[in-house]
Amino acid sequence: MILTEQAWQEISQKRKEGMVALLPVGSVEQHGYHAPLGTDLFIAESLVEKVSREKDVIALSPIPVGVSEYHRHFGGTLWVKPETLKQYVKEICESLSYHGIKKIIIVNGHGGNRGPLGEVARYLRMEGIAYVVVWTWFESAQEEIVKIFGNLPPLHADEVETSLLMIIKKNLVRCEFLKKSAEGSSATWGAFHKGTMISQEVIDFSKSGATGNPERADSEKGERLLEELCSNLISLIQWFRGVNSLDLSFSERE
C-alpha cells in the first residue's frame, strides 16, 4: 500500500497495530563518472517499492537529499546538515504516530545518513512516540554481498552498487565511463595514515569519486543481490509486525 495513493478514510480504515510504515531515505551525490547522482535514492526507493505489497505495509514517499557534504567538490551534489535531516525525519515519524502508525522502518540507501537516522530512531523509541528501525541495505546484507561478490568493497559507486543500479536503473549507467571511474577510484573509504582515518572528504582519496572497481559490475550478480535484499527486508517486516510497538522487552527480542 502506498500512502500517497490512498484517501484519508482508507488510511483510517486500514490502520492496525501490526501495520509497518516504510520510509525510504537516500541522497543526491556524485557516484563517479558512470553512475547518476540519485543512485542511493533509486536503490532505497526501489527496495521499498518491491516490498510494498507485503501484508500491512504502507510505503511513504522518499526523502531524496541526505547528509552528503563531504561529496561537495563534485558537481551536482546536494546536502543537508545532520540536524536538518534528524528534525525532518522525526516530524514525519511523529505524524505517522499521531495517526496510530507507530512501527516505522527507515530504508536507508546512504552511509552518511546512518548516524543521524540512528539517533532519531533511538529517541523516538525512548520518548514513547514510535518504534523506528533503520535498515541500511549494505549493512544489513553484508553476508549476502560477500557470498555473491566474494568480498566486501567500500560500497560507494563500486561493483556492488553499480551491479544493483544495472537492474534498477540500467538506462542511467554510463558503461562507457566504467573504466575511467575505476582508474580514479579508491580501494578504501577515506584517507588513512597508519590505520587512522585522516579524512572522509572524498576529494582527498578518490579522483573519480568512485570506490572499489565498478568495472567488475555484473547485472546477474546485481539481480541476485536485489532478491537477497528484498528477502532480508521482508524478514524484518514480518518480525516487526508481531512485536509491541513501544514495549519490547529484552527477552522478547531474544
CATH number for the domain that contains residue 198:
3.40.50.10310
Report d(CA 41, CA 44) in Å as an integer.
Answer: 5
73 lies in a domain? yes
Query: Mean pLDDT across the chain, nearest whole number?
Result: 93
Tell me the longest C-alpha to C-alpha distance in the chain.
Answer: 60
pLDDT band, very low/low/confident/very high, at 245 (cuts 50, 70, 90): low
12 lies in a domain? yes
Which residues neighbour 220 within 8 Å (Cβ) at sequence distance 6 or greater? Answer: none
Q: How many domains does the chain have?
A: 1
pLDDT value for 249: 47
> Which residues span the domain enclosing 66?
3-244
Q: What is the mean pLDDT of the segment spanning 32-55? A: 96
240 lies in a domain? yes
pLDDT band, very low/low/confident/very high, at 102 (cuts 50, 70, 90): very high
178 lies in a domain? yes
- Output the pTM of the full model: 0.92
129 lies in a domain? yes
pLDDT value for 167: 97
List the grid coordinates of 149: 561478490
251 lies in a domain? no
229 lies in a domain? yes
For the ranges 16-30, 74-88, 163-177, 194-208, which has the lowest average pLDDT?
A: 16-30
253 lies in a domain? no
